[in-house]
């Protein structure tokens, strides 16, 4: 039996993962904002489900709950950083408050979660950190610039961190789902639209989402099953694309980026000292 800590466990991929892990007999420390968010699961699984309550923007409360969870449960094998949401709007449209909340939740909150669990993982001799990111951690869409900022940022943080903590037997896995039917769209924080962007790619994406034309091919249950299966491997890959859209977009985007870089070899080398 493994013990997992999962943030954002009351909905979407976090809830699906919590349910599947409990059903297979694992123990889950589910992190939520409302104490009654998982009352049905608590009644069904009893002591197999442990609840942590904090908001991702409250670092002090997070650290206290993480300490309590490790102290109570004795060992946590897998930490899944899943909590987050999307801010939708062109960069000029989003408000200062919306930007600050997006970065505080998705980026700073995720960073502080990892920082809070690291001393405990080191002390117990290792563990695994799983970040639920997005294909949007490496590719971009119009109207998601701040969401992409948070995902590109957390992926860079974790790629560096993975090198720092490898000697302590701590692994890092970054899951990158494509558009998946999870309710993510319903939870978007929308900026006030500016008509000047109606005839731009930002306007096209806005209409596509409003009309239901934005392709969503990912299945939440299958995505969660894939994340669990990869996390259970002895030597998992660091980055895991999930869904055909994510895979195709990542291959195309990274291939084009590499080709552009390779085409500038002479210019790049010209900047060296002679």
Tens digits of residue pLDDT in 106-141? 999 999 999 999 999 999 999 999 999 999 999 999
Whether residue 273 is contained in a domain is answered as: no
Reading the block at residue 59, the tokens are 């670092």
Set 10, 110, 145, 150: catalytic member? 10
Which residue, among 135, 142, 139, 134, has the nearest Cα to 207 in the 3D structure? 142
Out of 61-75, 193-207, 211-225, least confident range? 211-225
The whole-number pLDDT of residue 141 equals 94
Whether residue 149 is contained in a domain is answered as: yes
| Catalytic status, residue 147 | yes
Q: How many domains does the chain have?
A: 1
The whole-number pLDDT of residue 184 equals 67
The whole-number pLDDT of residue 185 equals 64
Set 110, 133, 134, 145: catalytic member? 133
Out of 150-154, 187-191, 236-240, least confident range? 187-191
Angle subtended at Cα 224 by Cα 169 and Cα 24, rounded to the nearest 5 degrees? 80
The answer, yes or no, to whether residue 216 has pLDDT greater than 80, is no
Please tell me the pTM assigned to this model: 0.93
Q: What is the mean pLDDT of residues 180-188?
A: 72
Long-range contacts of 91-98 (CB under 8 A, 24+ apart): 91/145, 91/146, 92/194, 92/197, 93/191, 93/192, 93/193, 93/194, 93/197, 94/146, 94/191, 95/191, 95/192, 98/146, 98/189, 98/191
Q: What is the mean pLDDT of residues 209-225?
A: 83
Whether residue 216 is contained in a domain is answered as: yes
Spatial distance between the Cα atoms of 106 and 112, rounded to a whole number of angstroms? 10
User: 214 falls in which pLDDT band (50, 70, 90)?
Assistant: confident
Three-state secondary-structure class, residue 111? helix
| Catalytic status, residue 270 | no
The answer, yes or no, to whether residue 212 has pLDDT greater than 80, is no
Alpha helices (runs of H) in 8-88, residue ranges in sequence order:
12-23, 39-45, 59-73
Three-state secondary-structure class, residue 106? helix
| Catalytic status, residue 133 | yes
The answer, yes or no, to whether residue 195 has pLDDT greater than 90, is yes
Buried b (16+ CB within 10 A) or exposed e, 23-52: eeebbbbbbbeeeebbeebbeebeebbbbb
Whether residue 256 is contained in a domain is answered as: no
Give all strands (DSSP E) within 47-144, no chain letters.
49-53, 78-81, 87-88, 127-132
The CATH number of whichever domain residue 154 belongs to comes to 3.40.50.720
The answer, yes or no, to whether residue 180 has pLDDT greater than 80, is no
Reading the block at residue 114, the tokens are 């990892």
In the numeric block, the tokens 């489900």 are attached to: 49
Whether the CB-CB separation of 80 and 132 falls below 8 Å is answered with yes
Q: What angle, rounded to 10 degrees, do the helices at 109-123 and 59-73 form?
A: 30
More confident: 253 or 208: 253
Q: What is the mean pLDDT of residues 75-93?
A: 96
Find the distance separating the first CA and the last CA of the chain, reported in whole Å: 59
Set 50, 141, 147, 197: catalytic member? 147
Residues 6+ apart with CB under 8 A from 40: none
Set 45, 134, 151, 197: catalytic member? 151
Whether residue 258 is contained in a domain is answered as: no
Whether residue 27 is contained in a domain is answered as: yes
Whether residue 269 is contained in a domain is answered as: no
Reading the block at residue 96, the tokens are 């200062």
Q: What is the mean pLDDT of residues 214-243?
A: 91
Q: What angle, rounded to 10 degrees, do the helices at 145-165 and 109-123 form?
A: 20
Residue 241's domain comprises: 3-246
Whether residue 113 is contained in a domain is answered as: yes
């Amino acid at each position: 039996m493994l013990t997992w800590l999962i943030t954002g466990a009351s909905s979407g991929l976090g809830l699906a993962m919590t349910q599947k892990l409990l059903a297979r007999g694992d123990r889950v420390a589910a992190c939520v904002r409302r104490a009654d968010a998982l009352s049905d699961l608590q009644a069904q699984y009893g002591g197999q489900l442990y609840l942590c309550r904090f908001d991702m923007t409250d670092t002090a409360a997070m650290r206290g709950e993480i300490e309590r969870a490790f102290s109570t449960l004795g060992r946590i094998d897998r930490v899944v950083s899943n909590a987050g949401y999307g801010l939708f709007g062109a960069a000029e449209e989003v408000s200062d408050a919306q930007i600050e909340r997006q970065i505080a939740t998705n980026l700073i909150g995720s960073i502080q979660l990892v920082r809070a669990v690291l001393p405990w993982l080191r002390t117990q001799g290792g563990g695994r950190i799983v970040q639920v990111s997005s294909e949007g951690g490496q590719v971009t869409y119009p109207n998601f610039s701040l969401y992409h900022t948070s995902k590109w940022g957390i992926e860079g943080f974790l790629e560096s961190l993975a090198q720092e903590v490898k000697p302590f037997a701590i692994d890092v896995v970054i899951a990158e789902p494509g558009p998946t039917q999870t309710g993510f769209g319903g939870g978007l924080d929308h900026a006030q639209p500016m008509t000047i962007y109606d005839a731009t790619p930002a306007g096209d994406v806005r209409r596509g989402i409003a009309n239901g034309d934005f392709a969503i091919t990912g299945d939440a249950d299958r995505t969660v099953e894939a994340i669990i299966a990869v996390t259970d491997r002895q030597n998992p890959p660091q980055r895991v694309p999930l869904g055909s859209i994510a895979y195709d977009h990542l291959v195309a985007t990274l291939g084009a980026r590499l080709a552009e870089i390779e085409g500038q070899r002479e210019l790049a080398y010209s900047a060296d000292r002679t």
